[in-house]
Amino acid sequence: MKRTGTALCLALAFASPALAEAFLLSPPIDCDLTGDCYIQQYVDSDPSPEASDFTCSTLSYDGHKGTDFALSSRSDMARNIRVLASAAGRVKGVRDGMDDVQYFTAQSGKIAGRECGNGVVIDHGNGWETQYCHLKKGSVIVKPGQKLWQGQELGFVGHSGKAAFPHLHFSVRKDGKVVDPFDPDGVTTCATPGDSNLWQDRPEYRPGGLIDAGFAQAIPKFDDIKAGTVDLQTLPADAPALVIWGYLFGSQPGDVMKLSITGPQGLVIADDVTLTKTQAQSFRAIGKKRRTKPWPTGRYDGVVILTRGADVLSRQAMTLAVR
C-alpha cells in the first residue's frame, strides 16, 4: 500500500485503548539498542494484507503483534543478554525447556501452540499484560504467581520457538487486544508518527541500518555472518582475496551501501552498491582477488556506510592487520 508523507495511516486493527491510565514501560532488554542490539520489527499497523510499522514504513510484516528486539548475531546469545520486566506485575504464565534453534517452516508442526518458545506473561492489572518470547533455554528464573518489580530479570534473550534469528519478541495487550507501545492510540499520522506512546523513555526509531561489518578473505556465507563467525582482525599476506562486507536490516529499494578498504602502498578497494529490495536482513560485500604478489603488510582501514537519499543511516569503521 503506497503512502505519502502526509497521508493518514489506517487505524490499528488490534486495539484503541484509552490512554488515561498510568501504565508506562521501561525497555524489556538490557542492551544498547544503538549498538549491540536493535529493533528489527514493530507491530503491524496496517489491517490489510500489506504491512506497516507505526511510522508508515516497512519495519514490520503482515499480522506481526509485537516488537522484536534483536541481537546482532547468534554468538551474542553467549553473552546472556537479560530480559527485563517492563512494568511491575505478577507472573501469569511461564514456559522453559525448548531448544534454541533456527526456525524453518518444516518445523511448524513440532512447535504448534508453542510458537513463543520459552517465555513469560505478566499481568499488570487493569487489563494490561506483557509477553516475552524466544528466551534462552534454561534461563527463565521467575515462577507463576510471583510478584515482580519493573526492571526485574526474567531470563536471557534466546532463539527458541518460531524465531528466525535470536531476539526478544515483546507484546503488549489491553483487555486481550494487541497494543503497539509506540502508537497505543491506534491511529498514526504518517507526518507525525508516534505522537503518543507507552514508554517512560521511548527507544529511538531506526528506519534501517548496519547490524555489523567486517573483513574476510572470501565472500562470506550469509549464515556465517548471522552466526557472528566471520569478522577477521588479521589476515595472512598470501590470503586469496581481501573482502569487506556489511550486514544490514530494513533495506529499501534505492538505499546505497558504500564499502571501501584503504591499505599500505596506496591500495584502495571501493564500490557503491545500490539495493533493489525491501528486506528484513541482508548483506553485501566487495573485494579483490590476490594475483601473484602477496598483499602489502600493515594496517588496512575499512568503512561501510548505508545511505538513504541524502541521509546516512549507519556507518561502521574497522581495521585489519595483514602480516
Cell 536490516: give the residue. Answer: 249
Cβ count near 37 (within 10 Å): 23
> What pLDDT band is residue 286 in, cutting at 50, 70 and 90?
very high
In order of their start, the domains of the chain are: 1-205 (2.70.70.10), 209-322 (2.60.40.10)
Contact by Cβ (8 Å): 181, 173: no
Measured CA to CA, the distance from residue 186 to residue 244 in angstroms comes to 42
The pTM of the full predicted model, rounded to 2 decimals, is 0.89
Measured CA to CA, the distance from residue 199 to residue 27 in angstroms comes to 8
pLDDT tens, 31-61? 999 888 999 999 999 888 899 999 999 999 9
Averaged over 127-154, what is the pLDDT? 98
pLDDT tens, 91-115? 999 999 999 998 877 777 888 999 9
Q: What is the pLDDT, as a whole number, of residue 185?
A: 83
Cβ count near 242 (within 10 Å): 24
96 Cβ neighbours under 8 A, 6+ residues apart: 118, 135, 137, 138, 139, 140, 155
> What pLDDT band is residue 20 in, cutting at 50, 70 and 90?
very low
